[in-house]
Amino acid sequence: MKCKLTGIEGKEVDAHIIPKSFHSIDPDERLPSRILSNIEGQHPKKTPKGIYDRSIVTEEGERIFSDWDNYAAKLLLKKETIFEPIRHNGEILAYQVAEYDYIKLKLFFLSVLWKASVSSLYFFRKVNLGSHEPRIRKALLSGNPFDTDWYPAIIAKWADDKRAGMMDPFKEKFDGVKYYRMYIGSYIVYYKVDQRLAGKTFRPFQLAKDSPLFIFSRELNESKELPILQKIVKMHAK
């Protein structure tokens, strides 16, 4: 097959759009990950092997993702002890990670978005990057995620960390700017896919080079403490 990432012919592989490590897969399938959908008539489906697509990349293309996937899993799933809670009135509003690899983490999130866009799976049907796709593909091939405002991501986390379902991604707008919302395990990622700068609601919370990583403990747009969070991020930013 022809790799959608490299454009080179090679052996097809089961490419996981969202890495298996983020599916909370139980090896004994006592509590397998589930696919959830907001489509009427669609019921939760067990996904013991995760969500994968054989039509995306070859073995060579898949190897490009591996370092970013491994880094993201290590940081977000295995090193939560370095997450510093940000509290207000005793309640955890967000977490701060003082130091992290901006390049690897942003390339990880961009790779997930790109794979979702080029996937033939119905689950990702609402993700269509259009003219943005070749730009992001070029960034993945060059290993350059550019600066903070270039297709930024904002990360949130379910407060109880026990959301076993994987809901399908969809498009929405904040401050008139287009975003895709994707659920990656217990994380919620908001991707800005728009030429315009993010508005005042989200821009302070983007993954930023030379600044701490902020992970919110709920869906940010539903948080009543949004003004407090904006103030906290501004205080902590380098």
Query: Measured between alpha carbons, how far is 132 from 195 in angstroms, rounded to an integer?
Result: 9
How does DSSP assign 69-127, residue by residue? Answer: HHHHHHHHHS-GGGPEEEEETTEEEEEEES---HHHHHHHHHHHHHHHHH---GGGTT-
Kindly state whether residue 18 falls inside one of the protein's structural domains: no
Q: What does the pLDDT read at residue 186?
A: 83
Kindly state whether residue 13 falls inside one of the protein's structural domains: no
Kindly state whether residue 56 falls inside one of the protein's structural domains: no
Domain containing 96 equals: 70-236
Closest CA to 112 of 226, 189, 203, 167: 189
Q: What does the pLDDT read at residue 37?
A: 47
Kindly state whether residue 61 falls inside one of the protein's structural domains: no
Into how many domains does the chain fold? 1
Question: For residue 207, what are the CA distances in angstroms to 23, 49, 236?
Answer: 23, 30, 13
Kindly state whether residue 86 falls inside one of the protein's structural domains: yes
Q: What does the pLDDT read at residue 93?
A: 84
Q: In the beta sheet, which residues pair with residue 190?
A: 154, 181
Residue 10 has pLDDT above 90, yes or no: yes
Kindly state whether residue 77 falls inside one of the protein's structural domains: yes
Kindly state whether residue 31 falls inside one of the protein's structural domains: no
Kindly state whether residue 38 falls inside one of the protein's structural domains: no
What residues contact residue 196 under an 8 Å CB cut-off, 6+ apart? Answer: 176, 177
pLDDT in tens, 132-183: 999 999 999 999 999 999 999 999 987 665 544 567 899 999 999 999 999 8
Residue 40 has pLDDT above 60, yes or no: no
CA 201 to chain centre: 19
Specify the range with the lowest mean pLDDT, choosing from 24-38, 51-65, 149-163, 220-234.
Answer: 24-38
The pTM of the full predicted model, rounded to 2 decimals, is: 0.83
Q: What does the pLDDT read at residue 90?
A: 83
Closest CA to 22 of 57, 84, 65: 65
Q: What does the pLDDT read at residue 95?
A: 92
Looking at the chain, list the stretches that DSSP marks H as alpha helix, in order from N- to C-terminal side: 59-77, 102-118, 133-142, 226-236
Residue 30 has pLDDT above 60, yes or no: no
pLDDT in tens, 219-237: 555 555 456 556 656 665 5
pLDDT in tens, 68-121: 999 999 999 887 778 999 888 888 888 999 999 999 999 999 999 999 999 999
